[in-house]
Every structure is written in C-alpha cells, then in structure tokens.
Amino acid sequence: MSKYSIKICRIYDVHTARFLARCKVNFIGLHAIFKLPSKKQVGEFQKIIRELEVYYPKTKTVLVTRIIDPNKLLDIYKKIPADFVQWSAPVGKIEKEYFIEHAKKIKSTVKLFNVLSSTESDASLAHKNIVGKYVLVDKKFAGGTGVQTPKDDLAGLTKKLKNKSLIVAGGMGRVDINSWLADIPVAGVDIMSSMEISDSDTRKDIQKIIHYLRQAYNDTNFPILDIPSKKMLVYKKILTIKDAKTAIAAGVDFLLVEDSADNDWIIGEIQSINPFIPIMVTFSPKSKFL
C-alpha cells in the first residue's frame, strides 16, 4: 500500500464509493458545493455514508462545500452527516468552531478538513484559522484546476504546520506521487478531475483509478477483486443485456464488458438503465479481473 492517504472527490453513487472502499481509498468526497443537492442525490449520499460506516469503516466520507454560513451548512449536514466536512472557502476560526460544536450533536465524531489556497488567501491568516488536524492545500479554494502547488511552497507549509496532516490537491492525479512527493513530508493527496471520464462527464473512470492506484500502491496486481463480499457481489462479466439487467438488480458494484465492436451497444444499453454504475472494458480473456 502507499504511504500516502488517498482522497478521491466528487463521488455521486454507491457503486463507485463501494469500489473505492474495496480499493482501500482513505477518503471519499461528497459534494454539496453551494446548496443541498437533489432529493435523489441526497438519498444516494446517505446510502454511501451508511454502507461505508457498516462495511468499510476505514474509508471516511467528506462533505465538500463552499457554503460559508455555518447555520445553513448545519441544515445540510443534518441530511448528509459525513465523517468530515471540507470547507473549500475562506472561513474564519470562529465559524468553524461554532459549526463543529453544533455538528457534534448530529455526529459526535465529525471532523474538519481545512483548506488553504496558495493564491486566494493570506497564508498567515489562513494558518490561524485552522481547526483540527487535517489541512488540504490547493491552488484555489474551488479545486478541480489540476494546477500543482510549487514544491517549495509545499515544503514551506510542512515546516509551518508540522503538527498537522497535510493533504495535497491540484494535479496529483497526473504524477507519480511516490517520486513527486518523496522529499515533502505530507500525509496524502486529493484527486478529482483527472480520474473522471471527460470534462463533460464527471463520473469516475474505473480504468483510470485502477491505473493510478497500481502506481500509488506499487502493485501491478492491484486490485484483487475476487474477495468475500459482505454486500452483494463485487463485479460480473456481461455478455448480454439480460446479464446486465440481472447484475444491476442484484446490486453488483461494477460490470465487465469485453472490448469489441459488437459490445459497444451493450455499454450504451447499460448506461441507459443505470448511468452511474461503473463499467470496466477488458482487453484480454486471461485478464486477472475476469
């Protein structure tokens, strides 16, 4: 396993969350950026939180938001009681402490992810506003830029915040973190847009995630998926659309479809049934994933 914690943000559905938890990802980001998501999306977030708490307690959920008003955020937190709250905005220490005090009445173990932006806030003031142990460093509060924070800046922050756990965001999905961060004592990385299907389709690409984690964990055999499942099945090879419907109804985490022109229509049909369930395209009948 990697010596760095892995945090993957902008997860929409329980299928992907369950897969990431089985892959030993440490943190999963659930987004409520400016308002409460739709009722359907809130229900999916609640399902993710419940399942990870029961079956995969080592993978923590993070409610990611830019809502500055702590009372408005508390109303949302009542519906999405994640393990952590990440305030991706310039929020003061008083607001953070007020939120945590009241959020603990909803979930006693809740913690904060503080966010430091190297371009949008005064560094010395931002340091004073840190509450708790976890600090995420990004180029901008909004995140998703893919722009790296210079190594010298990161090194300086680790010296100023020696007693904190620093998570680095911004372009970390496009580098070999074991070599890029080798001389910088940070706790982990946050990745998001680089693991998505495309700029217009922000669902996570399972192939990209597997490739990234193999490199991060230095394990070419990763992930080992034929493991005992506490919650339904892990995956299923799909040969017909009937197989897909049966698998989706059974709660399979993701589907395997062999790469061929004849199977392109199956992928389209699967996405019309459930646009969120991850699909892995396999290139060899002898693949370890089969």
Residue 140 domain-assigned (yes or no): yes
pLDDT tens for 43-85 read 999 999 998 998 889 999 999 999 999 999 999 999 999 999 9
**Whether residues 205 and 243 fall in one domain:** no
Look over the chain and give the mean of its residue pLDDT values, rounded to a whole number: 83
Higher-scoring residue by pLDDT: 228, 36: 36
Residue 224 domain-assigned (yes or no): no
pLDDT interval class at 111 (50, 70, 90): very high
Last residue of a domain, one of 189, 217, 245: 217
Angle of CA points 127, 128, 133, to nearest 5°: 65
Higher-scoring residue by pLDDT: 197, 284: 197
pLDDT tens for 211-269 read 899 889 888 777 655 444 444 456 678 888 888 888 877 777 778 887 766 677 888 88
**Whether residues 43 and 154 fall in one domain:** yes
- Name the most confidently modeled range: 65-69, 129-133, 179-183, 247-251: 65-69
**Whether residues 68 and 125 fall in one domain:** yes
**Whether residues 173 and 94 fall in one domain:** yes
Q: What is the pLDDT of residue 66?
A: 93
CATH number at residue 197: 3.20.20.70
Last residue of a domain, one of 217, 245, 270: 217
Q: Is the pLDDT of residue 290 over 80?
A: no
Look at the chain and report how many structural domains it folds into: 2
Reading phi first (left if > 0) and then psi (alpha if -120 to 50, else beta), residue 222 is in: beta
* Alpha carbon distance 250, 242 (integer Å): 12
**Whether residues 22 and 71 fall in one domain:** yes
Q: Is the pLDDT of residue 289 over 50?
A: no
Residue 226 domain-assigned (yes or no): no
Spatial strand order in the sheet of 254-258: 235-237, 254-258, 279-282
Instruction: Provide the domain limits for residue 267.
Output: 235-282
Residue 99 domain-assigned (yes or no): yes
Return phi, psi of residue 148, to 5°.
-75, 145
Residue 288 domain-assigned (yes or no): no
* Alpha carbon distance 41, 253 (integer Å): 18
Q: What is the pLDDT of residue 227?
A: 46
* Alpha carbon distance 63, 33 (integer Å): 9
**Whether residues 117 and 251 fall in one domain:** no
* Alpha carbon distance 47, 63 (integer Å): 14
Residue 222 domain-assigned (yes or no): no
Q: What is the pLDDT of residue 262?
A: 67
Higher-scoring residue by pLDDT: 219, 277: 219
- Name the most confidently modeled range: 10-24, 99-113, 226-240, 260-274: 99-113
Tell me what the mean pLDDT of segment 35-42 comes to. Answer: 95
Residue 223 domain-assigned (yes or no): no
**Whether residues 156 and 247 fall in one domain:** no
Q: What is the pLDDT of residue 197?
A: 86
pTM value is 0.79
